[in-house]
Chain A
Amino acid sequence: MSYEIVNRPHQQNFIDWSADKPEVVVLTADLTNSCEVGRWRDTYPERFFSMGMAEQNMLGVAAGLAREGFEPWLHTFAVFLYRRPLDQLQMSIAYPSLKVRLVGFLPGIMTPGGVTHQAIEDFAVMRAIPNMTILEVGDATEAESVIDVAHAVDGPVYIRQLRGEVSRLFPKDEPLVFNHARVLSEGEEITLITSGIMTEEALRAMPLIKQKGVLVKHLHVSTIKPFNDPQVVSAVTSASKGVITMENHSIIGGIGSAVAEIMAEHGAAVPLRRIGINDTYAHGASQKHLMEELGLNAQSLVAAVEGLIGRNLHIAAEDLAAARVADVHSAAKAEAL
């Protein structure tokens, strides 16, 4: 399977989108080019604010701007938006339910920056924060359209955004729709829920799994909170053999947990297999290496399906379509992080 590769889907798109929205302001914390808003800064210098490496203050300043009717779009790495400044995120932004957009780049294990740069529990933390909306994009089309979805939310929004070389899995004219999953395949035995970069990874294995006669309903989700899309509820409560979740996040508190909650509340009596980071920290290594080491890959999906249906599918690793993972030193990124 090969997809169109889009370079820096956020960069020019966000500039064009902001042109008729004077209320949109951008704040960064020393990662401006790394978050594809260097040109935005040069285009709209009067509404760009460099806040330096001081995220606690940045979140508070954003709250003040939002209280005055501006719409601050904070751009930094995902991990720096919630881990250090969690109290500010909660008390200055989430409690008053302000229209602040937290655009977090390099979610999960997408960075070789190591444990300090890897947001592996952001869903878990953010899902527990009242008033928070959480979105995650899975391809270039969603990276482009997520800004409209976030803009429409009258409250704080956290976005797991993609940068650099990004595959276009979904047609450009099929934008991300709030709280509405994409149905990628239909089937009654197994329901597979994937999000973010795990969708592309799952798509490496899905044709083979289907070829072997397994009936899989595959949904791609982009709205992580709220997590009550009727399509998702129906799919995870009606699968006859089991449900699988795949996320670039800890298996605790993310999509796997959200699905488990729905299944338990509805009394769904089939097993759930959560593919994700298995309650461990990661470390500095390439995305490809970490996905393999942590089992965030198509092979894990095949194994989970085999476990649920109780038979070996005889799919060898080499049968799976070649993984496409952006090169660490891609020219589409400001640095190797």
Chain B
Amino acid sequence: MTKTQRASDQWLTEVAKGIRQRVLGHSLKNNGGYMSQACSAAELLSCMYGGLIDLPEVPEPLLPRPFAGTPGIAGKNRETGIEFHGGRKPDRDRLISSPAHYALVIYAAMIESGRLHEDALNDFNKDGSTVEMIGAEHSPGFETTTGSLAQAISQASGIAIARKIRKETGNTWVFMSDGEFQEGQTWEALQAASFHNLGNLKVIVDVNQGQCDGPMDQVMSIEPLASKIEAFGWEVVRVDGHDTDAIFDAGKTVTDKPLMILCYTDPVRGLPIMQSRFPTLHYLRFTSETEKATYAAAYQEMSK
């Protein structure tokens, strides 16, 4: 059963653990995966699917649909992955996931929280499947096509405006990664959301301080992030992204402004052996059988 109230500490801990374990298991099986994103975002995703966001319930874990084709005019193939988030309900929240390369981690979180059937990962990155490596709007739990980063926050702003016009009480949430704050569009969206008083727009960010080329402070620094976003007219809360109490407290912030929760995270949390790969953490691919065996041992340890 999916969660609408705050889940128990035990549930949150187990889901976070399950996310890391499932992504590592999958990476071992497929010789690669976005592992550091699982390590950094496990707790914040367990909170997101554990009651922080008031997503409508899903009665049972759903199986993904096969890919029907690209959308076309006259309503062809317009189905998105919203059903895994319980669909549209005026008084409930919506969640738009922006960093599409987190797909494996997001699928794992939805499996652990009872929204997605665990067999779904058998279709991951397979031809004809919607369980794509870089999630698109037809993928489970996705509503927008945001592999070209920073486009979700603008679209979520449009959804939030629409919901405001219709006087819906539910909030619209966006899950973002910190690298997206290098894109100009993010800042355009921030200024517009505050200008249009979108108090129903809430953003939660995995600030893992890493990107494809390495640590963000060596590629293109975005700090001081909190004060910049505040200066754009947002309410900003900065938390330890592995502290579920702090994340839930941040979610309760009372404000008329759009809310930004910056979750500072550790990209190797729960899998410290990955630290030896620093600064190349963006994608885990095993360089030798020996290395793979080390991770297999870590997986066994994690499963205890």
Residues of A within 8 A of B (CB): 25, 46-47, 49, 51-52, 54, 56-70, 72, 87-88, 91-92, 95-97, 130-131, 133, 153-155
Contacts and interface: CB of A to CB of B under 8 A. Distances in A.
A97 B158 contact: no
B4 interface: no
Given A47-B165, A57-B192, A96 B78 contact: yes
Given A25-B165, A67-B143, A92-B155, 6 more contacts: A54-B192, A56-B184, A57-B185, A61-B158, A88-B185, A95-B70
Contacts of A62: 158
A70 B70 CA distance: 22
Nearest to B189: A57
Interface of B: 70-76, 78, 137, 143-148, 151, 153-163, 165-166, 184-185, 188-189, 191-192, 195-196
B145 A96 contact: yes
Contacts of A60: 151, 153-155, 157-158, 185, 189
- Chain B CB within 10 Å — which of A49, A61, A91 has the most? A61
A51 B192 contact: yes
A88 B188 CA distance: 13
A97 B192 CA distance: 24
B144 to A, nearest CB: 7
Contact of B155 (A54, A61, A69, A97): A61
Contacts of B147: 91
Contacts of B76: 97
B73 A97 contact: yes
Given A46-B165, A47-B165, A96 B71 contact: yes
B73 A133 contact: yes
A70 B155 contact: no
A70 B165 contact: yes
A155 B151 contact: no
Contacts of B188: 52, 54, 56-57
A68 B166 CA distance: 10
A100 B159 CA distance: 14
A47 B159 CA distance: 14
Given A56-B185, A67-B143, A68-B162, A97 B72 contact: yes
Contacts of B158: 60-68, 72
Contacts of B73: 97, 131, 133, 153-155
Given A61-B155, A64-B158, A97 B143 contact: no
Given A52-B191, A64-B156, A92 B151 contact: yes
Contacts of A92: 144-145, 151, 154-155
Given A69-B162, A92-B155, A131 B192 contact: no
20 contacts: A52-B191, A54-B188, A56-B154, A60-B185, A60-B189, A61-B161, A63-B155, A64-B155, A64-B161, A65-B158, A67-B143, A68-B158, A88-B154, A95-B71, A95-B145, A96-B71, A131-B71, A155-B72, A155-B73, A155-B74
